[in-house]
C-alpha cells in the first residue's frame, strides 16, 4: 500500500510532534506500507493575517491563530496537491495526525486522520488556546468540521477525543475509531529484564520522577507537595525533575533533584534518562491539561506505574491499578502520598503493578500494536470497505 503521510512539520525528524509525527509513519512502514512524506508546508500568511495577529496581541489582548484561517489551509491543500503530482506512484491513502493540512484538500484519494484531539477539546484547555478571538474560534470549528466530514475515517488516540468528534461535530459513530499511540522510544529489553529492574529496587527510599517542560501545567507543585508529604510521613523520598525547573522563589529541600533539560539526541543524555527511568518507582505527573501523553507508555515500558490526573484522554492509557492510578483534578499531594504509602506498605502489590505496567506497554501501548490496528483500518479504506 502506498501511503502519503502529510504534516505541516518535517515528520522525518524524530522531534516532530514530540516524536509522534516520526513514529506514526514508521509504525505503518513496519507493517509493510510504502510511506511518502509530504511535510514542511509553508504557512506564508498574508500581510493582512499577520497584521490581525499583531493587532489582537497588543490592542485587544486576544489570540488570533492565522493557521486556522481558510486562506492558509487552502494554501496547505495546494502544496499537498503539488507534492502528490510530483510523486512517481499513485497514493492509496493520505494519513495525517492533524486536521489542519487536509481540511480543504479536495481529491478522490481517501483521507484518514489519526489525532490526539480536535479543536473543540483544546479550547480553554491548554493555556495557548485560551482567550482566542471570535474569528479564530469560528474558523477553527468550521475547518475542523469540514475536515471530519471529508475524511474517510477519523481515528483518535482516546475515547475522550472520539466522543467529542461524535457529539460536538456530529460525526457518525461508525466513522470514528480509537487507536492509542505507542511509546516514542526504541526498546531492546524484554519482560525478564524489567522484572530484574523491579527486583533491584529498594523500598527504603521512594524514587519519584517528574518529567515535563511546563512545570505549572504538568502539576509540578503537586509532585513537590507529594514528596514533602511522604517525607513528613517518614518515608525517605527523592523527587527527580527532568525537563523543567521549579520557579526560582520555591525553596527546594535536599531530596528534590532538578536536572533541567536533558537532550535525547546525545548518547550521554539517552543514558542519563534511561538510568533515571529504570530506577524510578513512579512517574508522577499531576497534569492540569493533556490529551494522551506518550510519556506514560514510555514509563510503562520500564515497568513503572504512572500517577496522574483524570483529564483529557488519559484514562484511555491508564487502567486503574494496572499501569498506574488517576486522581481527580482537585486532588493535592496528600492524596498521591497516601496511595504511595499504601502500596509501599505492601511491597508485593507494588511489584505486581510494576509487572502489569510493563504488560500494558507490551500488549497495548506500543507502536507495533498501534500500527497493526491502523493498517487494518487503512486497508479497509483503500478497498472502499468503510463499514468498519
- Is residue 4 predicted with pLDDT exceeding 70? yes
SS3 state of residue 207: strand
Q: Is the per-residue pLDDT at 386 higher than 80?
A: no
pLDDT interval class at 269 (50, 70, 90):
confident
Residue 387 confidence (pLDDT) above 60: no
Q: If you average pLDDT over every residue of the chain, what do you get?
A: 94
Question: Are 160 and 218 part of one and the same domain?
Answer: no
The CB density around residue 50, as the number of other CB atoms within 10 Å, is 12
Residue 387 belongs to a domain: no
Domain assignment of residue 388, yes or no:
no
Residues 6 or more apart from 58 whose CB is under 8 A from it?
Answer: none
Q: What are 113-156's pLDDT values in tens digits?
A: 999 999 999 999 999 999 999 999 999 999 999 999 999 999 99
Q: What is the pLDDT of residue 388?
A: 43
% residues pLDDT > 70 (the chain): 98
Residue 279 and residue 301 in contact, taking contact as beta carbons nearer than 8 Å: no
Claim to verify: residue 229 and residue 336 sit in the same structural domain? yes
Q: Residue 199: phi, psi to the nearest 5?
A: -65, -30
Contacts of 126 (CB under 8 A, 6+ apart): 217, 289
CA distances from 314 to 78, 160, 287 (A): 36, 8, 10
Determine the pLDDT at residue 15.
Answer: 67
Give the residue-averaged pLDDT of 242-247.
91
Cβ atoms of 102 and 94 closer than 8 Å: yes
Give the predicted TM-score (pTM) of the model: 0.94
Output the DSSP codes for 293-336: -HHHHHHHTTT--EEEES-TTGGGTPPBTTTEEEE-TT--HHHH
Bigger pLDDT: 302 vs 346? 302
Co-location of 325 and 376 in the same domain:
no
pLDDT tens figures, 22-39: 999 999 999 999 999 999
Domain with residue 250: its CATH number is 3.40.50.2000
The answer to the question of residue 348 being in a domain is yes
pLDDT over 90 (residue 43): no
**DSSP alpha helices (H): ranges in the chain?**
20-29, 47-55, 70-85, 119-122, 134-150, 159-167, 191-200, 220-232, 267-279, 294-300, 333-345, 347-363, 367-382
Antiparallel, parallel or unpaired: β 93-96 and 205-211: unpaired
Residue 156 maps to a domain: yes
Question: What does the pLDDT average to over 362-386?
Answer: 93
Is residue 77 predicted with pLDDT exceeding 80?
Answer: yes
Mean pLDDT within 273-299: 96
Count of domains observed in the chain: 2
pLDDT category at 44 given cuts 50, 70, 90 is confident
Beta strand 111-115 pairing with 153-156: parallel
In a domain, 333, yes or no: yes
Range of the domain at 78: 2-182+367-382
- Residues 94/110, Cβ–Cβ less than 8 Å: yes
Amino acid at each position: 500500500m502506498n501511503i502519503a503521510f502529510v504534516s505541516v512539520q518535517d515528520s522525518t525528524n524524530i522531534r516532530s510532534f514530540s516524536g509522534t509525527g516520526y513514529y506514526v509513519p514508521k509504525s505503518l512502514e513496519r507493517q509493510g506500507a510504502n510511506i511518502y512524506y509530504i511535510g514542511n508546508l509553508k504557512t506564508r500568511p498574508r500581510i493582512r493575517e499577520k497584521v490581525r495577529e499583531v493587532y489582537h496581541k497588543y490592542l485587544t489582548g486576544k489570540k488570533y491563530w492565522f493557521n486556522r484561517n481558510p486562506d492558509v489551509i487552502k494554501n496547505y491543500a495546494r502544496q499537498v496537491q503539488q507534492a502528490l503530482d510530483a510523486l512517481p506512484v499513485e497514493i492509496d491513502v493520505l494519513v495525517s495526525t492533524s486536521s489542519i493540512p487536509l481540511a480543504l484538500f479536495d481529491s478522490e484519494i481517501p483521507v484518514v486522520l489519526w489525532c490526539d484531539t480536535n479543536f473543540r477539546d483544546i479550547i480553554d484547555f491548554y493555556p495557548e488556546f485560551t482567550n482566542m478571538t471570535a474569528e479564530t474560534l469560528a474558523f477553527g470549528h468550521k475547518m475542523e468540521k469540514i475536515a471530519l466530514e471529508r475524511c474517510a475515517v477519523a481515528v483518535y488516540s482516546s475515547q475522550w477525543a472520539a466522543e467529542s468528534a461524535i457529539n460536538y461535530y456530529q460525526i457518525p459513530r461508525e466513522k470514528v475509531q480509537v487507536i492509542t499511540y505507542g511509546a516514542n522510544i526504541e526498546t531492546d529489553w524484554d519482560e525478564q529484564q524489567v522484572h530484574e529492574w523491579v527486583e533491584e529496587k529498594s523500598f527504603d527510599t521512594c524514587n519519584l520522577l517528574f518529567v515535563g517542560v511546563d512545570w505549572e501545567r504538568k502539576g509540578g507543585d503537586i509532585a513537590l507537595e507529594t514528596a514533602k508529604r511522604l517525607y513528613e510521613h517518614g518515608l525517605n523520598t527523592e523527587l527527580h525533575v527532568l525537563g523543567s525547573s521549579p520557579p526560582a522563589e520555591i525553596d527546594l529541600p535536599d531530596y528534590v533533584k532538578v536536572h533541567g533539560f536533558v537532550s535525547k539526541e546525545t548518547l550521554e543524555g539517552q543514558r542519563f534518562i534511561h538510568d533515571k527511568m529504570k530506577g524510578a518507582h513512579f512517574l508522577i505527573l499531576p497534569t492540569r491539561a493533556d490529551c494522551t501523553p506518550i510519556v506514560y507508555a514510555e514509563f510503562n515500558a520500564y515497568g513503572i506505574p504512572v500517577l496522574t490526573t483524570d483529564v483529557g484522554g488519559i484514562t484511555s492509557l491508564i487502567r486503574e491499578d494496572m499501569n498506574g492510578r488517576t486522581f481527580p483534578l482537585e486532588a493535592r499531594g496528600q492524596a498521591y502520598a497516601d496511595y504511595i504509602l499504601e502500596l509501599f506498605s505492601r511491597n508485593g502489590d507494588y511489584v505486581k503493578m510494576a509487572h502489569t505496567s510493563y504488560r500494558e506497554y507490551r500488549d497495548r501501548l506500543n507502536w507495533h500494536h498501534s500500527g497493526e490496528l491502523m493498517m487494518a483500518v487503512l486497508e479497509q479504506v483503500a478497498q472502499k470497505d468503510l463499514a468498519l
